[in-house]
Amino acid sequence: MPDPKPVHTQIPPSQQASRFARAREVQSRALLEDYVELIGDLIAAHGEARVADLAERMGVAHPTATKTVARLKREGLATARPYRGVFLTDEGARLADRVRSRHRTVVDLLIALGVPPEHAELDAEGIEHHVSRRTLQAFEDFLVRGQARSES
Amino acid sequence: MPDPKPVHTQIPPSQQASRFARAREVQSRALLEDYVELIGDLIAAHGEARVADLAERMGVAHPTATKTVARLKREGLATARPYRGVFLTDEGARLADRVRSRHRTVVDLLIALGVPPEHAELDAEGIEHHVSRRTLQAFEDFLVRGQARSES
DNA sequence: TGAAAAATATAGCCACGGCTACATCAATGG
DNA sequence: CCATTGATGTAGCCGTGGCTATATTTTTCA
Ligand SMILES: [Mn+2]
Ligand SMILES: [Mn+2]
Ligand SMILES: [Mn+2]
Ligand SMILES: [Mn+2]
């Protein structure tokens, strides 16, 4: 495969800039999305979400989890009473559901394309946040098509 | 679509933590990847890569681009002489080629799945960095399969 | 050729998201 | 029932990646 062309420089700089801006924007939301999803999971599984559990499952020290929870509160996605658990606001819960569903769709797509399941999970944890509504719809349509084929 | 199950809490915390750690690791490399790709593109298109052009195309102020170039130098991916352009080391050039090729594959896959081209470019700019070798191979295989079908 | 303009560098600010060390609160059990 | 222990909060450090303002260098052109 010889000389890949620099397609990037063939578009207006401002348009390219807006693509990178979008990626940065998404990135700043990614951590919040993972946290609300995890908080929702923990509440569903154990009735509560403790900071220590968040930290353990995120693989960070607990002050880091505390700080992120503070940001979730600032953004109106979670509430927390000192020395008690963390809870999702309605908005946080809705976001958690969307994120969880999207996560599954991304994993399912990767698996459908032949990626080993555990590998799919690894990649999906980062990919998911950059998948827009439109792309998600395309993933779902593809999965439905594949399902229809295997049923016939 | 009723109650998405909290699959996340059904795996060992340490395994879940390692997935998030991987996503963080990838993220810390993403900006460097975009810069080396862009530097390579600019050199191919204009014979040089100036900090002002990097800043304009990345959509950031030029001190931000300067700082990132400093990091590229520290990481052995680029060189730069003051008030002159930015250049890629051999390692940087190799990385740029890999990143450029992967970017195209991701965009092509999204388009093949029915995502409108400009939309595919937007999402791919973030997705690409989280696509591992294995997943990339799956994407390429799928694209080859589709091509074979349309040729028959 | 030298003054103005453009490009680049530098300084220093901020928010985020890591961390360690330490303080404080809550839960348990001897 | 209170002392210990575990969980949580707080303080303060660091690197990254944004920014603005200012200094310096290079380029341009009158
Ligand atoms: Mn994720
Ligand atoms: Mn996820
Ligand atoms: Mn990118
Ligand atoms: Mn790219």
d(CA A95, CA A82): 24
The alpha carbon of B63 and the centre of ligand 3 are apart by a number of angstroms equal to 20
Phi and psi angles of residue A79, each rounded to the nearest 5 degrees, phi first: -130, 160
A144 touches chain B (CB under 8 A): no
Q: Which of the nucleotides lies closest to A35 (Cα–C1')?
A: C17
**Residue A8 falls within a domain, yes or no?**
no
Sign (positive/negative) of CA torsion B39, B123, B116, B144? positive
Of A19, A101, A115, the CB nearest to B135: A115
Q: Is residue A7 part of a domain?
A: no
A83-CA/C24-C1' distance, Å: 10
pTM of the full structure: 0.93
* Residue A117 belongs to some domain of the structure: yes
Report the gap between the CA of B70 and the closest CA in chain A (Å). 20
In a domain, B102, yes or no: yes
**Residue B19: inside a domain, yes or no?**
yes
List A residues 21-80 in contact with B (Cβ-Cβ < 8 A): 21-23, 26-27, 30, 34, 37-38, 40-42, 44-46, 53, 56-59
pLDDT in tens, chain B (152 residues): 445 556 566 899 999 999 999 999 999 999 999 999 999 999 999 999 999 999 999 999 999 999 999 999 999 999 999 999 999 999 999 999 999 999 999 999 999 999 999 999 999 999 999 999 999 999 999 999 987 777 76
A128 Cα: distance to centroid of ligand 2 (angstroms): 7
pLDDT digits over A40-73, tens only? 999 999 999 999 999 999 999 999 999 999 999 9
Domain membership of residue B5 (yes or no) is no
pLDDT over 70, % of chain A: 93
Q: What was the pLDDT predicted at B1?
A: 45
**Contact indicator for B111, B142 with CB cutoff of 8 Å:** no
Q: How far apart are CA A22 and CA A16, in angstroms?
A: 10
Q: What radius of gyration do chain A's Cα atoms show?
A: 19
Q: Which of A149, A148, A140 is nearest to A109 (CA)?
A: A140
What pLDDT shows up at residue B7?
A: 58
* pLDDT of B151: 77
Q: Do A45 and B9 touch (CB under 8 A)?
A: yes
Q: Do A21 and B115 lie within an 8 Å CB cutoff? A: no
Which domain CATH number covers B138? 1.10.10.10
Picking from A18, A56, A132, the nearest residue to B17 by CB comes out as: A56
- Can you give the distance from the CA of residue B83 to the C1' of nucleotide C3 in angstroms? 20
Instruction: Name the residues in A44-73 having a C-beta closer than 7 Å to nucleic acid strand C.
Output: 58-61, 63-64, 67-68, 71
* C-alpha span between B7 and B141 (Å, rounded): 29
Report chain B's mean pLDDT, rounded to a whole number.
93
The model's pLDDT over A84-111, given as tens digits with 9 standing for 90+, comes to: 999 999 999 999 999 999 999 999 999 9
Domain span at B85: 14-151
Question: Cβ(A127)–Cβ(A117) under 8 Å?
Answer: no
Flag whether B88 is in a domain.
yes
Q: Is residue B141 part of a domain?
A: yes
The per-residue pLDDT for B135 is 98
How many domains are there within chain B?
A: 1
